Amino acid sequence: MIAIGERLRANEWGRYYVTDDCDACGICAGIAPANFARSWDGTYFAILHQPEGVAEQAAVREAMEACPLGCIGDDGDTW
């Protein structure tokens, strides 16, 4: 999935990312708390850790589906 917006530099490098369209609603962190974290100023969430294993990858993909702004992306590289 390609998200609209620019990839945030705060994301850990890797397949999944959050764009600058994020409004810090927190749905992603509620679904995948091991992978998403709120920014220091509370204005957005970013990928803190790329998913490790099947369960975390499934949680991040679920967060992508649930994101109301569609600002979680997957560049398709292998993890």
Contact 1, 64 (CB under 8 A): yes
What separation, in Å, do the N-terminal and C-terminal C-alpha atoms of the chain show? 15
Domain ranges of the chain: 16-74
Residue that wins the pLDDT comparison between 1 and 52: 52
Q: Are 49 and 32 in contact (CB under 8 A)?
A: no
User: Could you please report the per-residue DSSP string of 50-62?
Assistant: ---HHHHHHHHHH
pLDDT in tens, 20-54: 999 999 999 999 999 999 999 999 999 999 999 99
pLDDT confidence of residue 79: 47
Residue with tokens 């590289």: 77
Architecture of the domain delimited by 16-74? 2-Layer Sandwich (3.30)
Q: Strands 16-18, 72-74: parallel, antiparallel or unpaired by DSSP? A: antiparallel
Query: In this model, does residue 2 exceed pLDDT 50?
Result: yes
